[in-house]
Structure 1
Amino acid sequence: MGVCYGKPHLPTPSSMGNVKSGQKPSASWCSAVSNNAARDKKASGDGKIVADPSLTLFSFAELKEATKNFRADALLGEGGFGRVYKGTLHGKQQSGRTETIVAVKVLNPAGAQGYTEWGREINFLGGLSHPNLTKLLGYCREDANLALVYEFMPMGSLEKQLFRKSSTGHLGWDVRLKIAVGAARGLAFLHNSNRKIIFRDFKSSNILLDESYMAKLTDFGLVRRGPPEGLSHVSTQFMGTFGYAAPEYKKTGRLYVKSDVYSFGIVLLEILTGLRACDPRIPQDNATLLEWTKPFLSSQTKLLTIMDSRLKGNYNVYSAFQIAQLALKCVEETPQIRPSMTIVVEELESIEAANAPRMLLKA
């Protein structure tokens, strides 16, 4: 499958909805569209679609030099696409710096993902700009060597911060809320963009954190454009992650925009409990985090028994309960019942704003 490296095709927004050809929309319809558009723009934050991204084409030799020949101690992680290394680019970059720390993702030819996913990241992420999406700086295409070069995120992934034994300390409650809000804004931007992008594999390992714990979504190899106008879903082969994937996607291959909302709800449960979506510590009768936590989420008292013990009670009980209620809405069995990411952002921002003064009083 070929990959186009020119200007990405950006379809014009379908602003007329269900208005018939030649029919003028009513004033009330125009008002509703205007209000919804403003609401979506507010939830998505400061993102924009860039018509002509100027990605840098790197040689494989440059990337070998940047990572000191992909040295083992430069390895940041490994996924379906391949390994990710920390590197340093020397010489003046687009940012104006003479030295830039980057993350270099190198394709594993025998991996689960390949050329198609590599090209998809360039076509999608190369044409998007948002504070809560990782920035793609460039790529390498040299013989069989395919690589992507991103901005470096010093705090690693949410998965690393929440679960790995090597992570120092733990995330405080206010930081967890900040991460949830940032990740939600990034997902809302994808859903509300002209492309109606479905992330398809939203999970804690695909949420990266900068030095101030701002969340940025990464790994766009499995993204899909949303359904064409008039259709509710995209039919596709299942390529998600068990524990996070929505039931309708696993069972039928039908992928909705709100399939991402379900996955977001699972990540909220991870933030509350400090347990993975599929965790060995979960009782065997309950295969997933959702199945185990669900009986505890509707009661504030019961919720306290499953909260992450590493928080040591340093969180606002009411805001935690609100997060639990939001998670329950997100993981509804029927996609249409789940809230949009715009609504999720609004609720999280409200929870975070109410939580801040309470945390200050505790301090």
Structure 2
Amino acid sequence: MTLSRRTFLQTSAAAGMSASAALRAAAPGRVLTAADMHPAGYPTVAAVRWMSDELERQTGGALSIRTYHAGQLGRESDTVTLARHGALDITRVNMGTLNNPFPITRILCLPYEFDSVAHMRRAVDGAPGREILDAFAARDLVGLAFYDAGLRSFYNVRRPIHTPADMHGLKLRVPPSDIFMAMVRAFGANPTPLGFGEAFSAMQTHMIDGAENNIRGFDSSRQFEVARYWSNTQHAFSPEALLMSRRSFEGLPASQRELLLATAQASVAVMRRLWDEAEATSRERMAAGGVAFNDVDLPAFHAAAEPVRTRALADPDLLRLHRRIRALA
């Protein structure tokens, strides 16, 4: 039976215990609850499903994960709050949503911070990524792993974008992040922070003109049905974090905690393989479906983004991480 967001929250509040504890009472093993905005089959959802299968196999059914996908438990910001308070065990969250409550994550969303997919992966797999994952402990979360989220570009319902001047006057959806809002303003457009799931209807009703995201999210959300212009600005990577409630994590036996951490890290390779396959397929499907793809004047976008980068890197913590990331280029 599908558990609605309202039922989930009401049950947690009334009973005074986490949803994972409620499920545990009805199951022979510990069933961790996880949330994801993306639909079934999306690489992040599939990677957590793989984690569940591995945990169940290695513990003989004593530990598994049940994922509520497609935003069943609310926005990403909602699921972070639920996890912080122990009402949800695990959540997958895009870095843009985490920028304001966890300022150190802003470095991963800075425009043009990474040179390539390989560079981004070296950074999040290495010491910079470890430091950022450890920072989530300050607000009762355990950073389990980073997942890819592809290169982000702009798409809209009105026209191709070739230079920042083409963005003037466009109203574009962005994640609830000061970095993304500053970047869109620097490009000459008007940023509108909305939940990912709200972008389709907002474009359909002309509340906004477009948005920015990766090609896989553009495909899975079916936003291509209303936004027919995709411009390859490739302005950010903004990877995603797999986070766990510290209360839930510390409630596991030591052996299960170690296994969970190791399995989460192993799931990254699974997710990336699925992501690379899905990204190529999405691009082909969008092109075949009539989406107009165009390249842009990248030096012009780099130049327009530079003031945003300069202001952000005035923060000594971000500057230190930036230098370590650039050393991995």
TM-score normalised by structure 2 residue count:
0.25
Answer with 1 or 2: which has the greater Rg.
1
Q: Which has the higher relative contact order, 1 or 2, with Cα contacts under 8 A spaced 6 or more apart?
A: 2
Greater helix fraction, Structure 1 or Structure 2: 2
TM-score normalised by structure 1 residue count:
0.23
